[in-house]
Structure 1
Amino acid sequence: TMLTGYVEENGDQRMWLTGMDAEGNLLFEKIFPVSQAIRGNSIARLDKNTMVIAGDVTDKALRRNGFFCKVSLRGEILAYKSLGGREDDFLAAVQPLQDGRIALAGKSKSFLRGSRRDRAWVVITDQEGNLLEERYYGSKTNDESSWLLQSHEGSLFSGGFSSQQILKAEQAWVFKLGHSFNVRPPEQPLSLKPGAVYYSNGTFMEPGGRAFFNLTLNNEDKGLIGLKAVIEVENAFSGTAVLQETALPVLLPNDAPILGLPLFFQENTTLGTQRFKVRVYQGTRLISDAAFFNINIGAVTSPRLALSLLSQPSDNQLGIEVHNAGNSAAQGVSLFVSSDRSGALPDQHYIGEIPAGETRQKIFPFSPVGMDGLVTIRVADATLLVTDTLVIQPKLPETTPVKMDTTGKRDYLTAIWFSPNPDQFDRKEIVWSEGEIIIQVKVVSNKGLDKQHFCIEINGQPCVQGMKFEEVEMKGSRFSKTFQQRIKLGEGVNSLRAFVQNEAGKTETEPLKIIYTPRKPNLHVLSIGVPAVDLKYTTKDARDFVQALTSTKLKNTAFQAVFLDTLFVEATTTKTEILKCLRRMQYRFDDRQIAPQDLLLVFISSHGLSLGEGGFRIAASDFDGPFVEETSLDFEKEIVDYLRPTACRQLFVLDACHSGTADSRTKTSGMAEWAASQHQLNMLVSCRAEEYSYEDDQWENGAFTEGLIEAIRVFASRPQSIDLNNDKKLDMKELFVFVNKRVPELVQTKRPKPPTSQHPMMILNDQTHPLILFDSTGR
């Protein structure tokens, strides 16, 4: 892939040209002298080894000219010509033609000396940039061409904008140029090479769906127009039948383009692997050999779960119906019910397998007492990928005793948060990305309700009912109201509490904490320390790392807020519980509680398992050797890939290579080798391939974790010794320099002396922008 544009240097623009491979890795980069080119505006493939560029340049008389430039795939200039007349000219588009000539288009004032307006300008050159012909198009007002295309039958089209003001405004315009080309067949048949078939699901094509088939056309002759690809299906009973015809773009001389042909099959297409034949025609004349390819046609088999209520929640039970509307069985289906506002994990109710098209019902104890918000019910299969969610509003208590009136009837007054509803979030704090929030509070009473009965306390500042009631909106009946108010948020934590007072008495909501982060990202830490009989410090590693990271001795201004999820005990570090926590990160991202600019830091201390073929697994607390896949996590597929939908910045820190041997060591070449092959991740791992990772009683941690903790402490007390660029920030590179030196020093103090050293490894996916962990500039 080659790109062109411009850079600005010392107030001047200069053309920029770069080449990249299929993965986006830079192959070369070149900046041209101002005298040659100030901007590259369009680039196109001329043949297998050559590209052509159109742009503009300033000449010695300070007039703007267009230019033609032919370059190799390494950026060397093969031909260059400045194009233009007495006035300012500009080239915006380039289109190689099938007859070997090259068309360029832009705008020009040179059609009339002294002109103050532009006309669309189209130039035809040979492959050295020599002018063959030029024409101007447009009206008596400003017109210009910004693109140029050649259709499959050879016609030239261009377009841009015109100021003819037919509609009293500038308009887009498209025009067809008066060029005609002779249709001539090739002297020898085209050679076709079938490529891969790309399916939307990666495996097969559904009837009624679409796929794409790569076809390489090798043309050793002059260019061709008027081509079409004819795809035929081979059938043992009826022979061949034409499936579809697709017009092909112009084929340039001595070129071998790879074309992506769309494929479409009707709903009633036979399932299975089918063989197809593709040939190229020019009109009705066959001009190519035949190429054959196979397509897998099938129907997607996947479960699809749908939740519904059997009935409204009663005082003692809740009935849920789960229907599998997919076309395959859902395995290991469970219900998760969340209703408390404390952020505790939801209750889980196991259902099991649900075959395709079948329904399962689940009735379980349920009491709305004490629930003053919404109840979230989520169903998921064993993969946690097939899900559905149902939100219900439990029946509110009919009365809330406040006081007794003279008739003996109890007065009641109830207020709950309606929006945002804290019960819908699994943390006490709610992250908000905007400077204002509209809050809604549901209030029910046996006495009348009005605006002056309601007020919002912000950050502990007392409020008085009725003082700002003009800012309050209110809907509902006399005794049941939803109050709404727009609140301006301050940066950081905003604590809101609603107060309501009427003739029935006075009540208030629980505090609602809103975190507003307009300038800084948040840090989300998931620290996993898997307990193990033969390892003493995995849990302590994870706990001590979190304590060091959140120490009050070091005010960290790199992040607006820090959120912690800690899995330290056996019950929360099973494979299922770890996967649920990872999936919870995705739910938070979907709920905008994790933003794209935030940093998710995952720390893991556990047994590491190298299983060959580059695989690496993390042992869970329920690890059982004969059932490795069921009781451990594939680091790539079940941790990294699980977190990919959580599309924020991510950092993985792994002290996951301890062992159960007496000297507390293990060799973890699988993890180190896998980590070294990754380029799209940010990772810090405890040792290199063919090394061991150690823990020891004198550190009461793994050597790697001990080094991390010491680095954080040193930055808090003596930052000049670790802050290499003196910017009062600790980035990953500076942290790595410290631990890469300190960890081997710690290991050398271990007795008996270990057989190998230990050197951490770091992989960063962006070497140009530092990954900041701490910032003390604000202290």
Structure 2
Amino acid sequence: MQDGKELLALFPHADRKRWVLWTPQGYYQASAGAEDLIGWHLNNGADKTPDFYSVSRFREHFYRPDVIARVLDTLDVDEALQLANQARGRKTITRDLRTILPPTVMILEPKSGTKWDTKRLVLIYHASSTTGPILNTEARINGRPATVLSEARMRGNEQEFVQKIEIEIPPEDAEVTLLAKNKHGWSEPAAFFVNWAGAKDWYKPELYILAIGVSQYGNPERNLQYAAKDASDFIEAFKAQKGGLYKNITIRPLLNDAASRDAILDGLDWLERQTTNRDVAMVFLSGHGITGPGGEYRFLPPDVDEVRLKRTSVRASDFLEFLGKIAGKAVLFFDTCHSGDVFGGTRTDSQADVDKFANQLAAAESGVIVFTSSSGKQFSKEDAQWENGAFTEALLEGIRGMADFSKDWYISIAELEEYLGDRVKELTDGAQTPKTAKPRTVENLRIARIRR
């Protein structure tokens, strides 16, 4: 401390919900929804536009909450990194940022905000990569996968090209984003705002719900009081939305023994196949979650086997694979941080990293709206007074009308986020802080209508 060197920087957002901590070397920790608050600014010479990459583009290299925690103990970043590497059993390979850059994408035509009155949108864009060939490009509408009608290269090669793409758009104002991927990951999204000037469409979406709740585990010491009931109560709350905001509601409940690993994967597959680009998919997830040996979030089914954890748990990448491909709007509510010692102290740093999982799902290439029950290393509370977890108690109140701050008889994502933040802290005396992670390109979706 006496040499005056910077150890950590903190950026708390003005919304008092999101924050980022980082070291001068770039190692960082971010709350859910906060990864896009800071990033890397790379100059390309005096005559060229600089590039900006949010820290989420380099999550696998620099997201290190284990390092941040040890910096506060050691007051030395190098020592903290060494201790963190020892704890996780592998050494960090330091790379020059310019050798691991993802591609960049720029939309050339038409101008964003152009009035549009047909469902076929044609964009011309430029994509380039300085660190290897571009492997894939993707179009999204309001954060969800777009239907591509045609795509053709106008000029260029595998590392830099100009391309024309034609996609189907909904008859409404919307934000279209284009992304490109190389071996290092996905680009920052290039955005085009559709200013819809055609006829209005009053289509009423269908809602598909996968509700997973596990209270009873093979090992009774892991049992929870209300996780399965939380899922059941969530189902009942949304059944009342049929005929209101949603034309129809289809529900697949997976409670206790029914929530095996295979059943959960089948449920996610069902959700991806059933949900069209006009519909809404919701997942409610309640039970135990941990951070596995490789640093990946894992949800624990009732028959999880600690010795065979890879085979008997559901990985973050499983959720990402299915939820990221759902054609319609996707929302995840998850409450899986009930204990930091699920396996009786036999694993280190095993408490679920909900912030990382939420940020992975909400990234531009996945596009999922995520509500978490807690943040950081907080535990989720249950209480017989509510007969629910605190998060679910507040969620049910909000859906039933308490979150209607605008008094328009609808509950939006932003309203629910505001209500959950205040109400859960009130119920738990500040011990639990729910977070929301949303793609930058998602609109303020209405998710419930209040019955008059």
Normalised to the residue count of structure 1, the TM-score between the two structures is 0.31
Q: Is the 8 A contact 1:673 1:689 kept in 2?
A: no
Q: Is the 8 A contact 1:611 1:670 kept in 2?
A: no
2:291 counterpart of 1:607: no
Match of 2:234 among 518, 539, 545: 545
Kindly state the Cα deviation for residue 618 of structure 1 after the two structures are TM-superposed.
0.4
2:49 counterpart of 1:73: yes
Q: Is the 8 A contact 1:535 1:660 kept in 2?
A: no
Kindly state the Cα deviation for residue 695 of structure 1 after the two structures are TM-superposed.
1.2
Q: Is the 8 A contact 1:526 1:565 kept in 2?
A: yes
2:334 counterpart of 1:638: no
| Matched residue type, 1:769 | E
| Matched residue type, 2:375 | R
Q: CA-atom RMSD, angstroms?
A: 3.8
> Equivalent residues in 2 for 1:684-723 (5 A)?
684-713=371-400, 715=401, 722-723=403-404
Aligned to 2:259: 573
- 1:613 to 1:689, Cα distance in 2 relative to 1, 3 A: farther
Kindly state the Cα deviation for residue 248 of structure 1 after the two structures are TM-superposed.
8.6
- Alpha-carbon deviations, 1:442-474, whole Å to 9, x = none? xxxxxxxxxxxxxxxxxxxxxxxxxxxxxxxxx
| Matched residue type, 2:445 | L
Aligned to 1:772: 446
* Structure of higher RCO (CA pairs closer than 8 Å, 6+ residues apart): 2
2:278 counterpart of 1:597: yes
CA distance in 2, matches of 1:599, 1:711: 19
Q: Is the 8 A contact 1:657 1:667 kept in 2?
A: no
Aligned to 1:653: 333
Match of 2:209 among 490, 502, 525: 525
Aligned to 1:586: 272
| Matched residue type, 2:239 | T
Q: Is the 8 A contact 1:609 1:616 kept in 2?
A: yes
Kindly state the Cα deviation for residue 614 of structure 1 after the two structures are TM-superposed.
4.5
- 1:614 to 1:661, Cα distance in 2 relative to 1, 3 A: closer
- 1:583 to 1:767, Cα distance in 2 relative to 1, 3 A: closer
Match of 1:625, SS state, is: coil
Q: Is the 8 A contact 2:208 2:250 kept in 1?
A: yes
2:356 counterpart of 1:670: no
Aligned to 2:7: none
Q: Is the 8 A contact 1:620 1:631 kept in 2?
A: yes
- Alpha-carbon deviations, 1:294-322, whole Å to 9, x = none? xxxxxxxxxxxxxxxxxxxxxxxxxxxxx
CA distance in 1, matches of 2:290, 2:231: 19
CA distance in 2, matches of 1:567, 1:768: 28
Q: Is the 8 A contact 2:279 2:329 kept in 1?
A: yes
CA distance in 2, matches of 1:538, 1:258: 49
Q: Is the 8 A contact 1:556 1:775 kept in 2?
A: no
| Matched residue type, 2:356 | E
> Equivalent residues in 2 for 1:50-129 (5 A)?
73=49
CA distance in 1, matches of 2:156, 2:416: 55
- Alpha-carbon deviations, 1:704-758, whole Å to 9, x = none? 1111112223x0xxxxx5322232210111112111111122223xxxxxxx710
2:370 counterpart of 1:683: yes
Match of 2:335, SS state, is: strand
- Alpha-carbon deviations, 1:195-226, whole Å to 9, x = none? 524568xxxxxxxxxxxxxxxxxxxxxxxxxx
Kindly state the Cα deviation for residue 555 of structure 1 after the two structures are TM-superposed.
7.1
Q: Is the 8 A contact 1:609 1:617 kept in 2?
A: yes
2:431 counterpart of 1:757: yes
- 1:569 to 1:520, Cα distance in 2 relative to 1, 3 A: same
Aligned to 1:84: none
CA distance in 2, matches of 1:195, 1:653: 37
- 1:647 to 1:697, Cα distance in 2 relative to 1, 3 A: same
Kindly state the Cα deviation for residue 563 of structure 1 after the two structures are TM-superposed.
1.1
Q: Is the 8 A contact 1:614 1:674 kept in 2?
A: no
- 1:703 to 1:577, Cα distance in 2 relative to 1, 3 A: same
Task: Please identify which structure carries the higher helix content.
Answer: 2
> Equivalent residues in 2 for 1:322-471 (5 A)?
none
Aligned to 1:503: none
**Structure (1 or 2) with the larger CA radius of gyration:** 1
| Matched residue type, 1:525 | I
- Alpha-carbon deviations, 1:679-702, whole Å to 9, x = none? 332100110102111112222211
Q: Is the 8 A contact 1:669 1:688 kept in 2?
A: no
Match of 1:738 among 398, 404, 419: 419
- 1:595 to 1:199, Cα distance in 2 relative to 1, 3 A: closer
Normalised to the residue count of structure 2, the TM-score between the two structures is 0.51
Match of 2:371, SS state, is: strand
- Alpha-carbon deviations, 1:657-697, whole Å to 9, x = none? 123879xxx98451223324543321001101021111122
Aligned to 2:123: none
- 1:196 to 1:706, Cα distance in 2 relative to 1, 3 A: same
Match of 1:650, SS state, is: strand
- 1:248 to 1:747, Cα distance in 2 relative to 1, 3 A: closer
Match of 1:604, SS state, is: strand
- 1:737 to 1:606, Cα distance in 2 relative to 1, 3 A: same
Match of 2:132, SS state, is: strand
Structure 2 unaligned blocks of 5 or more: 1-35, 39-43, 51-108, 110-128, 137-154, 162-200, 343-348
- 1:660 to 1:697, Cα distance in 2 relative to 1, 3 A: farther
Match of 2:307, SS state, is: helix
CA distance in 1, matches of 2:156, 2:289: 53
Q: Is the 8 A contact 2:341 2:351 kept in 1?
A: no
- 1:643 to 1:661, Cα distance in 2 relative to 1, 3 A: closer
Q: Is the 8 A contact 2:288 2:339 kept in 1?
A: yes
2:309 counterpart of 1:620: no
Match of 2:251 among 564, 571, 593: 564
- Alpha-carbon deviations, 1:601-634, whole Å to 9, x = none? 0001110111266511100121011111111101
- 1:574 to 1:556, Cα distance in 2 relative to 1, 3 A: same
CA distance in 2, matches of 1:688, 1:248: 45
| Matched residue type, 1:710 | E
- Alpha-carbon deviations, 1:453-500, whole Å to 9, x = none? xxxxxxxxxxxxxxxxxxxxxxxxxxxxxxxxxxxxxxxxxxxxxxxx
Match of 2:379, SS state, is: coil
Kindly state the Cα deviation for residue 556 of structure 1 after the two structures are TM-superposed.
6.2
- Alpha-carbon deviations, 1:626-664, whole Å to 9, x = none? 1111111012x11221233332110010011123879xx
- 1:596 to 1:628, Cα distance in 2 relative to 1, 3 A: same
Structure 1 unaligned blocks of 5 or more: 1-24, 28-46, 51-71, 75-146, 148-192, 201-246, 250-256, 261-516, 589-593, 716-720, 749-755
Q: Is the 8 A contact 2:290 2:352 kept in 1?
A: no
CA distance in 2, matches of 1:608, 1:654: 10
